Structure 1
Amino acid sequence: MLFWIITGVLALLVSGIIGLALLRGRVGDKPPAAYDLQVYRDQLKEVDRDLARGVVGPEDAERTRAEISRRVLAADAQLKQEEDTAGKPNRSGAFIAFALALVMIGGAFGLYTQLGAPGMGDLPLKARMAASDAERASRLTQAEAEAQMPAADISPDTSEDFMRLMEQLRQTVKDRPGDLRGLTLLVRNESALGNNAAAYEAQQKIIDIKGDAAPASDYAYLAELKVRAAGGYVSKDAEEALRAALERDPRNAIARFYMGIYLMDVDRPDAAFRTWDTLLRESSPDAPWVAPIRARIEELAWRAGVTDYELPEMPQTDAPAQTPPVAGPSTADIDAAGDMSEEDRQQMIQGMVQGLSKRLATEGGTSAEWSQLIRALGVLGNTEQAANIWAEAQGVFAEQPEALDQVRAAARAAGVAE
């Protein structure tokens, strides 16, 4: 209530000052005509002095006196009129002052009800930090977050042969739980199918097998899969994986990106802004996290109290950009399928290639994904399709030289580019 009282008093005070100036209609102790009359009388005296010194002749002096005298009479008449109306209310000024007061007071309160937060009390730093701590403590676990999500939607375009091979791969991994190559292949394909819960379970097994030797990228990918499975929500379990990744490599880009999302969720826009701003400035323009960061960081800067923030025009980095694992076949995937029969192996790889190709055609992707597809087609001997993909990529990345160079290198390796 005190805020409304102070705001109302200030609005009335400002409106009153402006209204008083409109009602007075002039500035100073005397009306303008009085100043004009004094100037004309001084001019008459100046004419008499010029005539006495011989500067002007009698005829010129007489004509000048007549003109000044005419102006004196006009100013005197205006002065009498202003004296007659002195003290009387200025109706037009009063109307304008009243209308201005309504606009200022009503407009100010109207804008505040739309843009402000009526009834919200002060929120000092200590209270904000306490609220953030409470939000951190109340984060859902991964299981709780997934319980609020619908069941995983497996792509209806997935062929029966591919699903049969996936069942075979799952059984193989179950029979050989310590097989890192099989688990790696399982993670990639479960993720490609949209079965992120099964993917992060397999990824956790990879980390458990590697133990202390597990790199930051393994933990970052684990966190990413958990975030995907929870529909973009960073659970307690995903946060733990992110912190484990950053402990091993504070510069891991994927972990920093998702940590920024987490910090926003727990009402720490200041820390989230610092995290994302640093990541953005260190990343290459084609890094997959650059676009989502640029879309939200200006609002984030405002929430963090940074009023003069400007988006960097061309983010640069000395280190190669990190990219999320690609949902297509890599050399490791092909090697991991070595225990299958040749027919099953080819079907598995073909299914992965077709899935990636379809996704890039409908949803687009990063330069790393286009490169991965071209390389895989080259390995399979599908040079004609690889050449077509390379031709399409040249149009997609025409305005991104660095990204185009990356895809060109893959096309050369596949033998479809010079």
Structure 2
Amino acid sequence: MLFWIIAGILALAVAGLLALAVIRGRDSETPAAAYDLQVYRDQLKEVERDTARGVIGADEAERLRTEVSRRILAADTALHRESATQGGGRGARALALVAALAVAGGALGLYGWLGAPGYGDLPLKSRIAAAQDRHANRPTQAEIEARMPATVPAEPAPEYAELMEKLRETVAGRPGDLEGQQLLARNEAALGNLRAAYAAQEEVIRIKGENATAEDHVFLAELMISAAQGYVSPEAESSLRRALELERGNGAARYYMGLMLAQNDRPDLAFRMWESLLREGPSDASWMEPIRNQIEELAQRAGVEFTPPAEGAPAAPAPALPGPDAGDMQAAGDMSPAERMEMIRGMVSNLSDRLANEGGTPDEWARLIGAYGVLGEMAQARAIWIEAQKVFADRPNAMETVRSGARRAGLVE
């Protein structure tokens, strides 16, 4: 609220100063014809004085009077014409004043339309902190399902319903039957019994143990997300993360992780993940169509200029961003300890802001985490490390590079 009030006052003040400058400028102007008229009148008086002193003759004096008088008449006509134009100038000044007020009012109106009057400042760090809090405290799978209205699955054909009852009874009597649980999970999903489906899939993963595949975990997450009508719960996220641990490049898991980030006010991270998937392909993957349908809106929310890639085009590498390196530290050798520390803190802060706004390479993220560790700001180092794990969740080599910075900061062993 305070911002737009101050902005409005400043806009009105500037508009008023501009209008005042125009009005004063107009009022201080003297028409050129008025100067000419004064000069000609002085010349006429000079002719009379020269005639009285006998400097010029009567005939010459008469000729000069006639010529000067003619000029006086012409100048007087021009003066009247300029005075009439001055009246139009007053109207123009009034119009300029109205236009200045309209500009100020238009600026306020535009802010009221595009801005957010009444809201306090939302700096980047606060927005990230709010998103992290939302992510950490979002509803569980059971809580979100409890809020949704009850749905009645479609009634299957009698023969199919009878077979399903037999399957349920058989599986219930054989809790370790892997094939039976797999069959139950898929058939319950086909019937729309999504809660029963993901319960069966949880049993599949339990029976498989360490042999459970990334696809097993993705299928469980998909069933949970479908049961929650598109919401990615903490339980679904855990399944997705397990899938990515087993298969870093799993496209379906990366798509749903991007969806989770978008739902938790991190469109910047979601956009990077989805754009990478979009450029990698394949074009007929099941997640490509939903990404194409949503990525432009996501880019707008992230404040990113997005150009859809040509089919099969590789992703462009992220631009390198400067940050404090060994050369920078050596250059600080001639400074006092206080000056050196102030310089380092400034460079670290600049790198942090740029990585948050524009992204950067794994080396730069590692350098930032390590730098905060050296400065003793462990809370900030830990926050950047958590953020980096989300950014590079689908890139194992990059994650290992970032992990080296976390090791230097003492966050991991």
The alignment's TM-score, normalised by the length of structure 1, stands at 0.59
Judge conservation of contact 2:12–2:101 (CA < 8 Å) in 1.
no
CA deviations 1:318-349 (Å, max 9, x no partner) are 9xxxxxxxxxxxxxxxxxxxxxxxxxxxxxxx
Paired residue for 1:125?
124
Q: Does 1:153 align with 2:144?
A: no
Paired residue for 1:181?
179
What is the aligned-residue identity percentage? Answer: 54
Paired residue for 1:5?
5
Paired residue for 1:139?
138
Structure with the greater relative contact order (CA < 8 A, sep ≥ 6): 1 or 2? 1
Judge conservation of contact 1:152–1:194 (CA < 8 Å) in 2.
no
Paired residue for 2:307?
310
Amino acid at match of 1:309: F
Residues 1:254 and 1:25: Cα distance change in structure 2 (over 3 Å)? same
Equivalent residues in 2 for 1:18-417, closer than 5 Å:
19=19, 78=78, 81-82=81-82, 90-156=89-155, 158-306=156-304, 308-314=305-311
Residues 1:271 and 1:80: Cα distance change in structure 2 (over 3 Å)? same
User: 1:85 Cα shift?
Assistant: 5.6
Judge conservation of contact 1:256–1:275 (CA < 8 Å) in 2.
yes
In the aligned structure 1, how far is the partner of 2:2 from the partner of 2:12? 15
Residues 1:315 and 1:20: Cα distance change in structure 2 (over 3 Å)? farther
SS in structure 1 at match of 2:128: helix
Judge conservation of contact 1:285–1:316 (CA < 8 Å) in 2.
no
Amino acid at match of 1:231: Q
Amino acid at match of 1:2: L
User: 1:197 Cα shift?
Assistant: 0.7
In the aligned structure 1, how far is the partner of 2:32 from the partner of 2:220? 81
In the aligned structure 1, how far is the partner of 2:102 from the partner of 2:83? 33
CA deviations 1:132-172 (Å, max 9, x no partner) are 2211221111111111122343124x211111111111112
Amino acid at match of 2:119: M
User: 1:17 Cα shift?
Assistant: 5.9
Residues 1:98 and 1:174: Cα distance change in structure 2 (over 3 Å)? same
Judge conservation of contact 2:237–2:257 (CA < 8 Å) in 1.
yes
User: 1:84 Cα shift?
Assistant: 7.1
Residues 1:33 and 1:250: Cα distance change in structure 2 (over 3 Å)? farther
Amino acid at match of 2:253: A
CA deviations 1:34-75 (Å, max 9, x no partner) are 9xxxxxxxxxxxxxxxxxxxxxxxxxxxxxxxxxxxxxx999
Judge conservation of contact 1:284–1:316 (CA < 8 Å) in 2.
no
SS in structure 2 at match of 1:208: helix
Paired residue for 1:395?
none
CA deviations 1:3-25 (Å, max 9, x no partner) are 12331133224534664676589
Which stretch shows the higher mean deviation, 277-286 or 197-206?
A: 277-286
Paired residue for 1:328?
none
Residues 1:285 and 1:20: Cα distance change in structure 2 (over 3 Å)? farther
In the aligned structure 2, how far is the partner of 1:280 from the partner of 1:315? 9
Residues 1:252 and 1:76: Cα distance change in structure 2 (over 3 Å)? farther
**Unmatched 5+ residue regions in structure 1?**
35-72, 319-418
Amino acid at match of 2:124: L
Judge conservation of contact 2:16–2:97 (CA < 8 Å) in 1.
no
In the aligned structure 2, how far is the partner of 1:21 from the partner of 1:75? 29
Q: What is the number of equivalent residue pairs in this alignment?
A: 280
In the aligned structure 2, how far is the partner of 1:166 from the partner of 1:132? 43
User: 1:226 Cα shift?
Assistant: 0.4
Residues 1:83 and 1:263: Cα distance change in structure 2 (over 3 Å)? same
